[in-house]
Amino acid sequence: MTQALIVVDVQESFRQGPRWASVSVPDVADRVSRLVGAARDRGDTVIWVLHAEPGTGGPFDPASGLVRMMDGLEPRPGEPVLTKTTRNAFTSTELQRLLTVAGIRELTVCGIQTEQCCETTTRVAADLGYDVVFVTEATATFPIPHRSAADRPWDEILADPRTLGTAAIVERTEYALAGRFATIRTVAEVVGR
């Protein structure tokens, strides 16, 4: 077993607030569940990652009760569940140690957010020498406001022509990762292999 599926931040925290209505992949948990099932069937390691911002009082604060997997996603006994406080899943967790001890060299990354925690985890993994598959179809993101409009209400952000849409974010992420940091694959390609 030299492969692992890394499920990044597919957690209830993201469903809070108005942005969830604009998510690029509303059924991200279902898509991730397909990848998890296929990984388990192959005997691959499944590693779950949650993002926490302790003491903030927001939806990523563990005290909120929302720093947990989305409904339909359930780690099995023995599957590591790591909690990170950084954008990538390596810096603030024991992910690299777990992978090294298990002899894992190939990773498949999915989760939330496409261009943030998923892409950053992928870049760090590649720099550490892992072969990475990035399943864009099983990642989700949200429109990004222009830097000068970030504090405006969500409906104004969506109406602003400077807001970067999810299709552009996904396209940029794939361009940045493909051939440099990862191989881009579809859910069907990963499940079927």
CATH number at residue 156: 3.40.50.850
Task: For residue 164, count CB atoms less than 10 angstroms from its CB and return exposed for 0-12, middle for 13-18, buried for 19 or more.
Answer: middle
Contact between 184 and 134 under an 8 Å Cβ cutoff? The reply is yes
The residue among 24, 15, 28 whose CA lies nearest residue 141 is 24
Say what the pLDDT of residue 141 is.
98
Boundaries of domain holding 132: 3-192
CA distance 76 to 102: 17
| Count: domains in the chain | 1
Render pLDDT for 86-137 as a digit per residue (tens, 0 to 9).
999 999 999 999 999 999 999 999 999 999 999 999 999 999 999 999 999 9
pLDDT tens for 45-83 read: 999 999 999 999 999 999 999 999 999 999 999 999 999
Under the phi-then-psi rule, with left for phi > 0, alpha for psi from -120 to 50, and beta for the rest, what region is 72?
left
150 falls in which pLDDT band (50, 70, 90)? confident
The active-site residue out of 36, 52, 110, 117 is: 117
Q: Confidence class of residue 139 from pLDDT cuts 50, 70 and 90?
A: very high
Q: Quick check: bond before 116 cis, omega within 30?
A: no
Active site residue 110: no
Residues 6+ apart with CB under 8 A from 22: 142, 143, 154, 158, 166
Order the strands of the 3-8 sheet from edge to edge: 81-84, 45-51, 3-8, 106-112, 131-140, 183-184
* Digit-coded pLDDT (tens) for 1-17: 689 999 999 999 999 98
Judging by beta carbons within 10 Å of its beta carbon (0-12, 13-18, 19+), is residue 136 exposed, middle or buried?
A: buried
State residue 168's pLDDT score: 97
pTM of the entire structure?
0.96
